[in-house]
Amino acid sequence: MRANEGGLDRAVRVIAGLGILSLAFVGPQTPWGYLGVIPLLTGLVGFCPAYALFGINTCGVRKAN
């Protein structure tokens, strides 16, 4: 698993994941809030399976030719 998320992308994912996850505990307290675990984990790990599937890389590391 090679990192395919850049620093800004990871930060946005972690913040969004925590925000969505908070909906399971505060506010409407809906189980849909647990979907926030997905962006939270991908942000912490630095790898997004959907990015890999579509060949997207926001990491900024150049590929070796």
CA–CA distances in Å: residue 21 to residues 25, 47, 57, 62:
8, 19, 25, 33
Identify the pLDDT of residue 1. 84
Q: Is the pLDDT of residue 32 over 80?
A: yes
Nearest CA among 8, 34, 9 for reference residue 22: 34
Q: Is the pLDDT of residue 13 over 60?
A: yes
Q: Is 60 left (phi over 0), alpha (psi -120 to 50) or beta?
A: left
* Structural domain spans, the chain: 7-46
The three-class DSSP label of residue 11 is: helix
